[in-house]
């Protein structure tokens, strides 16, 4: 049974932490707010009646104009390494943790309102979010969830008549982010650098109690906590790499302790494959390039290891970082072989040759600028084991080096013929992990521009398509088409 937003079972567990971790902060409202889009799937997860989001009293709450007595809105304090350098002046600068709710299944979820005005951690900022960035986060997080990738969720976006100055004047917006946790690596950094050991143990105990109660009250509870954070982070980044997703700002304050994709800024999905794809226009050095994400994940975990060093022995921290590498390598290879439909590799029979096939496929795509998503979907819709290269003529015709394509295809075809599963079953499994649709930058940009002109219909259509990314949908050819030429000039930065 679904519940109106105002009647959800709100909780305030975060205030169990020492007050150094937060500052109470009332949201600052928007002028003439209106609902742009809502996620019915996220609402169902929350046990929420999605239709209640259009009620005036709910719009007032989600735009920061009013609050409920059951809430105790606060801004969280944390540190973070930004582009490799420690920044102690961080925290929720434009968002408030309104409250938590308990779902019908007994799960606690944070409700975080982004764009709710300045907080004590705003660093002279206006505390606002704009419609453009709010739509990108909404579409990005909900698309990632539909792809099966661990992520925070977005319930809804509201637009307003509040002017916000960025590179140009834009409209202020709010987004309600829903997450199992907003604890970041940066929270542990703040506790460590505070010099107060009680802050660190209080934070670790809070995380254990809320998220990993099975690890509590054991001699190795903190070491086990670090290990599971390493494991989940590795699994998440492996999934990023397999689907061609670049986060863009992997600062430690954007890393979730639950291994969920967190804080959608200048993210991007691969079009024409580039191993060194940089989706963030502000990342001039390429620190967070696509092919560097696995290494940055380990670097960020090493920062977390330092922060947890007063409560975890060195050997356990080293073991956790090694486990990250092992887990990432295993999960990434498995994910890529699943995309190729090569299941027997799990037994090690074809391990080295299969790894070579994966790397050669990536090289082929890069050298010939083949579209990442379309390449893998194409091979998942053809019985490669019994067909010839002409059945992939569209891919082949896009290649400058036809000989290289034919060589790779021949090796791949031979390998597919060694599979024991029926072709139909194998293709079905491949199509379940090779999407037809991803949130390409030009699709998001088109929807945003229409929304900025007052038409939210394309945001809603695109969201609907992205909810079923593995199924080809009627009258949606343009959502899977190659990007237009103008898309090459799109620049996505951290500006929000």
* 394-401 long-range Cβ contacts below 8 angstroms, 24+ apart: 395/370, 398/368, 398/369, 398/370, 399/364, 399/368, 399/370, 400/367, 400/368, 401/367, 401/368
Token digits for 158? 């509201």
Catalytic residue among 205, 224, 253, 338: 253
DSSP 87: E
3-state DSSP call for residue 130? strand
- At residue 488, what are phi and psi to the nearest 5 degrees? -65, -20
Rounded CA-CA distance 440/264 in Å is 14
> Has 489 been annotated as catalytic?
no
Q: Alpha carbon 475 to chain centroid distance? A: 28
**What's 93-138 look like in SS3?**
CCEEEEEEEECCCCCEEEEEEECCCCCCCCCCCCCCEEHHHHHHHH
Q: Name 5's Cβ contacts closer than 8 Å, sequence gap at least 6.
A: 48, 49, 52, 53, 55, 58, 61, 62
**Rounded CA gap, 182 and 109, in Å?**
9
Number of other CB atoms surrounding residue 285 within 10 Å: 9
**CA distance linking residue 21 with residue 14, whole number of Å:** 9
Cβ-proximal residues to 64 (8 Å cutoff; 6+ apart), any chain? 27, 28, 29, 30, 96, 113, 115, 116, 117, 174
**Which strand (E) or helix (H) includes residue 96?**
strand 95-102
Q: How many distinct helices (H) and strands (E) make up the chain?
A: 16, 12
Beta-bridge partner residues of 113: 96, 176
Three-state DSSP state, 106: coil
Query: How far apart, in Å, do the first and last CA atoms of the chain sit?
Result: 36
What length is written for the chain? 496
Active-site residue numbers? 253
């Amino acid at each position: 049974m679904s519940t109106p937003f105002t009647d959800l079972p709100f909780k305030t567990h975060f205030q169990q932490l020492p007050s150094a971790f937060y500052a109470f902060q009332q949201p600052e409202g928007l002028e003439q707010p209106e609902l742009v889009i809502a996620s019915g799937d996220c609402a169902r997860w929350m046990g929420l009646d999605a239709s209640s989001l259009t009620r005036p009293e709910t719009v007032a709450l989600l735009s920061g104009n009013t609050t409920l007595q059951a809430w105790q809105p606060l801004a969280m304090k944390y540190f973070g390494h930004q582009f490799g350098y420690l920044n102690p002046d961080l925290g929720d600068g434009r968002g408030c943790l309104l409250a938590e709710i308990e779902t019908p299944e007994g799960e606690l979820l944070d409700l975080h309102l982004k764009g709710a005005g300045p907080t004590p951690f705003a660093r002279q900022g206006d505390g606002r979010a704009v419609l453009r960035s709010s739509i990108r986060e909404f579409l990005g997080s909900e698309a990632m969830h539909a792809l099966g990738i661990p992520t925070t969720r977005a319930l809804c976006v509201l637009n307003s008549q509040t002017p916000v100055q960025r590179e140009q004047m834009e409209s202020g917006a709010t987004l309600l982010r829903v997450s199992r946790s907003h604890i970041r690596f940066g929270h542990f950094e703040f506790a460590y650098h505070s010099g107060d050991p009680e802050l660190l143990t209080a934070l670790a105990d809070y995380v254990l109690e809320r998220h990993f109660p099975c690890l509590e009250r054991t001699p190795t509870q903190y070491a086990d906590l670090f290990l599971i954070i390493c494991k989940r982070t590795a699994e998440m980044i492996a999934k990023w790499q397999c689907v061609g997703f670049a986060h863009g700002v992997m600062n430690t304050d954007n890393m979730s302790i639950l291994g969920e994709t967190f804080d959608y800024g200048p993210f991007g999905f691969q079009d024409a494959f580039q191993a060194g794809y940089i989706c963030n226009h502000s990342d001039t050095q390429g620190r967070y390039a696509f092919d560097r994400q696995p290494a940055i994940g380990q670097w960020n975990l090493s920062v977390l290891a330092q922060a947890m060093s007063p409560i975890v022995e060195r050997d356990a921290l080293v073991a956790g970082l090694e486990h990250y590498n092992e887990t990432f390598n295993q999960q990434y290879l498995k994910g890529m072989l699943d995309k190729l439909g090569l299941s027997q590799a799990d037994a090690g029979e074809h391990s080295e040759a299969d790894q070579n096939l994966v790397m050669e496929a990536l090289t082929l795509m890069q050298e010939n600028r083949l579209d990442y998503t379309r390449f893998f979907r194409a091979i998942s819709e053809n019985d490669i084991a019994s067909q010839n290269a002409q059945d992939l003529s569209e891919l082949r015709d896009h290649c400058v080096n036809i000989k290289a394509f034919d060589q790779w295809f021949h090796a791949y075809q031979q390998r597919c013929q060694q599979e024991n599963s029926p072709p139909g079953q194998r293709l079905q499994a491949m199509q379940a992990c090779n999407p037809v649709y991803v949130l390409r930058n030009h699709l998001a940009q088109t929807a945003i521009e229409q929304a900025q002109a007052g038409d939210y219909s394309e945001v809603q259509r695109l969201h609907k398509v992205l909810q079923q990314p593995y199924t080809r949908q009627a009258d949606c050819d343009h959502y899977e088409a190659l990007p237009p030429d103008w898309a090459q000039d799109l620049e996505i930065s951290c500006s929000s």
